[in-house]
Chain A
Amino acid sequence: MKIMKLAMFELLRRPKKNLVIASSIVIAVALLTSLSIVSNSANLAIMEIIAKTGHTLTVRPSASSAGSSGEEQKQEYKLTTSEVVLGSYIPEAAVPEIMKNYEKAIKAGWEKKGGLVSTPGIPDIVLEPATWAPRLFEKAEVDGQEVIVTGIEIRKEYFVRFWWNLTSGDWPAETDVRDVNTNIASIFTIGSDGKVGIDKAEYGVDSSGKLIAAQDKKVKAAPLKPILKGWDDAYLGGAYAKSKGLKLGDKLTINKTEFTVRGILEETNSADDYMVYIPMSTAQRLFHKEGLVSMVSVRAMCPNCPVGDAMVELNKNVTGITAVSQLDVAGVQFDFFSMLYKFLLAVVISTIAVGIFSIFNIVTGSLYARIREIGMLKAIGASRFQLFRIFIYEHFILGLAAGIGGYVLGLGMAYVLNSLLDIGAVILITTAFLWRALALGIVCSLVAIIYPAYKLSKLKITETFRTQWES
C-alpha cells in the first residue's frame, strides 16, 4: 500500500462530504469551461467570416430608404455574409457612382498609408479592381412554399463568396449570358399566362461574352453562341435542397415560371443555405424589379485594403446607401464579446472565490474531525510532509474528478449559453479546454486544502491526542 492508495481510501470514506466539496468545484469549472468554449467559438466564428470574406464591403439601401424597419436597422451591425434586405433597393444606375467613390476612397486610403504615391522613375502599382456582386432578394412562392429567392450574377457571386462549393452540379461557363447583366431585362417577355419567356431568336452573346441583339450589325459579322443559355437555371442552398428533397435536374416553379436545378450548394451555416438562387436578369424581370438590386457585395482585391476608409467615404458622399465594412463590424463584435467575456469572467471568478471559501470551511471542519486519526498516523511514524502529502493527494484526486465533471457539465452549458445568448456560433471543442478544466478543478481543490493541511500537519501529537495522552 502506498500513500496515494491510503489517500484514495480516505477519500471514499466520506462520500457525501466530498460530493458537496466536489459539486462546488464542478459548478465553478463548468461555468468557466462553458464561458471559455462559447467565447472561443464566437471569436472563431467571427475570424472565420473575416477569413472568408477578406476585406469585404456590403452596400445596401440606407435605413432611411423605403421599407426599412427598426429590425433591419439593427441588423446593419450584425456580422453576417448573408444578410437579407427586403423591400429596399439600390438603382443599378447608381452603382457606377458608388464604384467611382469607392475607388477614389481606396486610392486616398492607400496614399494616407504611404502607398500608391507616384515616384518619378518607378512605375505606379496598378490595383486589381474590386469585384462587385449584386443581389436581389424577393420573397416568393416556390412550389407552394414561401422562400427567399435571390437574383445573383452567378460568376461574380461565386467569386465574391469563394467559399461556396457545389455538392452537385456545375457553375456556369465563363461566357454564359447569365453573367451579362446590362440591359438583359429587355429581352424577356411575359406571356399572357404570366410566365416569363424569352425570344431566343433575337438575342445572343458574341465571342467575348457580350450580349448583343439580333438586329445588331455584329450579329451578321459573328455567328451567335447559344442564346441566353441558363436563364432558367436555379441553384439551391444546401439546407433548402435537403429539406425539399430536390436533386440536380429537378424542376421547381417560381411565380409560375419553371426553373431547372443546376447546382446544389454545400451548407455554410448561414442564411445562404435556405435560399434559391436564379440569374439576376431573370429575377429582375420575374419580380418586376428591372434596374434594381437589394445590395451589392464588394470584394476588395488587395490585402489590407483601406476598406474602412471607403466605407466612411461612401456613407458620407453617396446618399441612399449604407456601406458596412465586415472588418469594422467584426471589430465591434470582437469588442462586444470581449466585454461580455470579461464581465462573465468576473462573475465566474467571484463564484470560484466564494466556492473556494466554502470548500475551505468544509475541508477545515472535515480535517479537524480527523484530528485523532492524524495523531495516530504521526505516532506510527508519518512525518509532517507525508501527512501533508495524504491531504494533497486526497484533494488532487477530488479536484481531478471535479474537473472532469465540470468539463462535461461545461460542455452542455456551452450549448445552452450559445443558444440563450443567441450567439449562433458553431461550438468548437478542443482538448485545451479539458486540460484547463482539470487544472482549475485541481487548483481550486488544492487552494482550499493547503492552509488547513499545513496547520494540521504541524500539530503536535499530544494536541491531537489531548484526552488520551494528557490524562
Chain B
Amino acid sequence: MSEFIETKGLKKIYHVGGQKVEALKGVDLEIAKGDFVVFMGHSGSGKTTLVSTIGGLTRPTEGTVLIEGNDIWKLNDKQLSHFRNRKIGFMFQSFSLLPTLNVLNNVVMPAIFSTNSERKDTEALKSKAISLLTDLDMKRKVNSFPSELSGGEQRRVAIARALINDPEIILADEPTGELDIRTEREVIDIFCQINKTYQKTLIVVSHSLTWLEKAKTIIVMKDGLIFKDLADPVEAIMEGVCKS
C-alpha cells in the first residue's frame, strides 16, 4: 500500500464562549491508499475534527493535509468544492438524504455539482446509480422516498450516493449510529465489500466496536492526539474512554 493521505502538525483550536478549545494538538498521520481506517475514541477526543479536516470540511488552525502530495487547504473555495466532489464520498449519520428527492435522484445528486462533463450524462449516470443500488440490494426502491425507507436502507442509499462520482476516499461519520446490531453488521459488510471490490480508501468515525473485526487500521484518538499504544485496541479505546 502506497502513502496516500498525510497530515503534518495538524492543530485545530475552537473558540467556544470566549474560551479556546484545542481539538487537535498537532496530529501527524499517514494513511495508505486502499486502507480501511476506523477512528475511535471518546466524545471530544478530536476524531471527527481530524476526519473533517482531512475531508476538506474544517480548516485547520495549523498544519497541512496532503492528499496525493497536494495540500488541500491551499485550494480556494471552488477548487476545494471540486476536490470534495471528485475525490471524496461523504456519509453522514443523519440529515443525509433530501426528503423531496426519490432514491435515484438522491444518489445522482453529487453529479449535478460536478464539473466533469461525463458526470452530466443523465442516462449514463442513472444507469450507474441503478447498478450501485443493485449491488447494495436497493434496486426495488429506486423510486421510493427517504421517508419510506428503513434506517439501514437509508444508509445503503447514502453509500450509493457516496460512490456515484467514483471518489478515491469514502469518509463516513458514524455510518452505523442508531442502527440495530444486525443492520450495523450488514452496513459494515458493505463497507468491507466497497474496500475490496472498488479499492476505495475508507475512513470511518465510529464508537461501535463492531468495526474492529473488519477494519484494516484502527486509530484511537485521545485529547486531540493519536493514542499510540494499540497492542490491544479494545483496551486502548476503553482506556481512552475511562480516563477522559
Interface residue tally on B, bucketed by range: 35 or more
- A462 contacts which chain B residues (CB < 8 A)? 52, 57-58
CA distance A180 to B78 in the complex (A): 90
- Interface centre among A3, A380, A465, by most B CB within 10 Å? A380
Contact, CB under 8 Å: A470 / B55: no
**Quick check: A381 and B81 within 8 Å, CB to CB?**
yes
Query: Are the CB atoms of B90 and A383 closer together than 8 Å?
Result: no
A10 interfacial contact with B, CB 8 Å: yes
CB-defined contacts of B49 to chain A, threshold 8 Å = 469-470
Query: A381 — nearest CB in chain B belongs to which residue?
Result: B85
Closest 8 CB pairs of A and B: A381-B85, A383-B81, A9-B100, A372-B95, A13-B100, A381-B113, A461-B57, A380-B110
Q: Do the beta carbons of B85 and A471 come within 8 Å of each other?
A: no
B13 CB–A CB distance under 8 Å: no
- Choose from B44, B57, B86, B109 the contact partner of A471 (Cβ within 8 Å): B44
Question: Of A377, A378, A471, which one neighbours B43 at CB under 8 angstroms?
Answer: A471
Q: How far is the CA of A379 from the CA of B52 in the complex (A)?
A: 10
- New A-B pairs, 14, CB < 8 Å, besides A380-B90, A380-B161, A383-B77: A1-B111, A2-B112, A376-B90, A376-B92, A377-B113, A378-B81, A380-B84, A380-B110, A381-B86, A384-B77, A462-B57, A465-B92, A469-B58, A471-B48
Q: Does A208 belong to the interface (CB within 8 Å)?
A: no
- A384-B77, A470-B49 given as contacts; is B90 within 8 A of A379 (CB)? yes
Interface residues of A toward B: which range? Answer: 20 to 34
Contacts of A468 in B (CB 8 A): 48, 92-95, 173
Task: Determine if B48 and A12 form an interchain contact, defined as CB atoms under 8 angstroms apart.
Answer: no
Q: What is B's interface to A at a CB cutoff of 8 Å?
A: 14, 23, 43-44, 48-49, 52, 55, 57-59, 77-78, 81-82, 84-86, 90, 92-96, 98-101, 105, 108-114, 122, 161, 165, 173
- Provide a sorted-by-A list of 17 A–B residue pairs whose CB atoms are within 8 angstroms: A6-B109, A375-B95, A376-B96, A379-B55, A379-B57, A380-B161, A381-B81, A381-B82, A382-B113, A383-B82, A384-B78, A384-B81, A465-B52, A465-B57, A469-B58, A470-B48, A470-B49
Q: Which of B43, B59, B101, B161 has the most CB of A within 10 A?
A: B101
Least Cβ distance of B198 to chain A in Å? 18
